[in-house]
Amino acid sequence: MTPTPDRGAPTGSEPGARTGPMTAGAARAAAVDWVTRHAAPEPGFLGAYFGGSTVALPDDAPVPAGSDVDVFLVVEEPGAKVGKFEYHGALLEISPLPAAGLATPEQVLGRYHLAGPFRTDTVIADPTGHLRALHRRVAVEFAREDWVRRRCADVAVAESLRRQDPAAPWHARVTGWLFPTACTAHVLLVAALRNPTVRLRHLAVRGVLADYGLSDGYPELLELLGCATMTAATARRHLDALADTFDAAAAVARTRFPFSSDITPAARPIAIDASRTLIDRGLHRETVFWTAATFARCHAILAADAPELGERLAPAFGELTADLGVATGADLARRTAEVLAYLPRLAETADAIIAAHPEITRP
């Protein structure tokens, strides 16, 4: 069982809340307080740990604008995802995980989205001692080449692309192509022992490729998404259109989706403001994945809770997908085939990173 948002997700307006930037240490302290007060007393609670990009931040570093603090709750039977909310001025994202998926070190070492946090001691609460035992084993074997390769394979780009449903609504079809295509970046981040971050995956992988003298491969990753030649003005125009759709979807949202907490006023700084900052810095192409993903999620909400409004706002989403080269189902099929054809080159790049990485060990 996991705490419900109503019971366990106070907002930043409560006593003790902060405004403006805060340090990573203060944000983590807020997360620990929330876990202690709202998660640990629940039946079936077996522990909690930090994940995500803020794990690497020292306590005195400011939390970057648009970043949240990821907390994973280990529970016997996970309920609905609590999601994003403000607590004592920190933006937290709380996600339940079934304890069965963390039963052995081998399970964790082979899963690309699970292993990273256990590389260091990120444990918040561990009533059984199991999480710290996992950490001790994973920390030793995390950089072993066979585990690195297994995690790269776990990204499963081809399998995800082949699960697309041609009968699904357009926003779902775009999502079914978009996320696996963008997971090509995750393969390379995993090969480099980096955090497979979600929103900023392309910014992160650009740095990885530069570190290994492989920058010539970065434009091809962007071409797979259709944004290699997108201008800052175009990216800003699509983000402005997304802002309108985001606010409309957040206002009418009633149906519960796994991503519901990403389409709320509390999450707007991540979805809109942080992307605008990146565009202003000249990193406009690196915003396109999250703009498209958020657009599609907004339309999933609108289709469920305000279909007529969704139809009125659909042209803006259509303009973005057309600019990405996926205006029709035939386009999606063609672009999917292009990603599948690229996967051998992706594997070669991952191999080059693994071979050159100074921390990766051979068993």
Please write the tens of the pLDDT for every residue from 167-223: 999 999 999 999 999 999 999 999 999 999 999 999 999 999 999 999 999 999 999
Q: For residue 76, is pLDDT > 80?
A: yes
* Average pLDDT score over residue span 253-272: 94
Domains of the chain: 5-142 (3.30.460.10), 154-350 (no CATH)
Q: Do residues 318 and 296 touch, judged by C-beta distance below 8 A?
A: no
Q: Do residues 51 and 116 touch, judged by C-beta distance below 8 A?
A: yes
Q: For residue 13, is pLDDT > 50?
A: no
Angle between helices 170-191 and 329-356 (to 10 degrees): 10
- E strands along 83-237, which residues? 83-87, 90-98, 123-125
* Average pLDDT score over residue span 337-357: 98
Write the single-letter amino acid at 363. P
pLDDT of residue 78: 78
Q: What does residue 58 show for φ and ψ, rounded to 5 degrees?
A: -65, 160
Structure tokens at 356: 């050159």
Question: 38: how many CB neighbours lie within 10 A of its CB?
Answer: 20
**To which residue do tokens 């039946």 refer?**
43
